[in-house]
Amino acid sequence: MMCTAKKCGIRFQPPAIILIYENEMKGKSRQRIMPVRNFSKFSDCNKAAEQLKNNPRHKNYLEQASLRQLEKLFSFLRGYLWGQSLAETMEQIQQETTIDPEEDLNKLDDKELAKRKSIMDELFEKNQKKKDDPNFVYDIEVEFPQDEQLQSCGWDTESADEF
């Protein structure tokens, strides 16, 4: 079945992920409600998103939905179960998905580092200019202003004499 995901959202009572998609064969917009079972305020959102995306009943519909988007929806549900307001949950998610340039990534554990790298990859793909973009210019050359005179390095000049 060919379908194109249009919108993805969450319902808190009873908990469910709601997907609005378009059936490409018939051209009709439809809504699919996927109930969220066995999810508590202590559950791992990433694991729950992977399980839902790989569920055989929902796999065809969630192919185009990103894992990050599903993870955010589960984070909203977990915040609701903790009793947080929607604004508090949104602020918490914003803090988790924002990368601080001053943060030392060498001090993070493997799981957190992988999360930060996936956020950076997603941001890179979002900002990347492709050949099909209207503002794409091939082979841009930029002259950078130099405030100071460049200093030559001693190792660079010495190694040139050896060859």
Answer whether residue 146 is part of any domain. no
**Number of structural domains the chain divides into:** 2
Range of the domain at 58: 3-98
List pLDDT tens digits, range 55-107. Answer: 999 998 998 888 889 999 999 999 999 999 999 999 998 988 888 889 899 99
d(Cα 111, Cα 126) in Å, to the nearest integer?
23
On whether both 8 and 79 belong to a single domain, the answer is yes
On whether both 42 and 8 belong to a single domain, the answer is yes
List pLDDT tens digits, range 125-163. Answer: 888 888 888 888 888 888 888 776 666 666 655 555 555
Answer whether residue 153 is part of any domain. no
On whether both 62 and 77 belong to a single domain, the answer is yes
Answer whether residue 139 is part of any domain. no
d(Cα 81, Cα 163) in Å, to the nearest integer?
69
Nearest to residue 51, comparing CAs of 69, 70, 32, 78?
A: 70
pTM: 0.70
d(Cα 63, Cα 42) in Å, to the nearest integer?
27
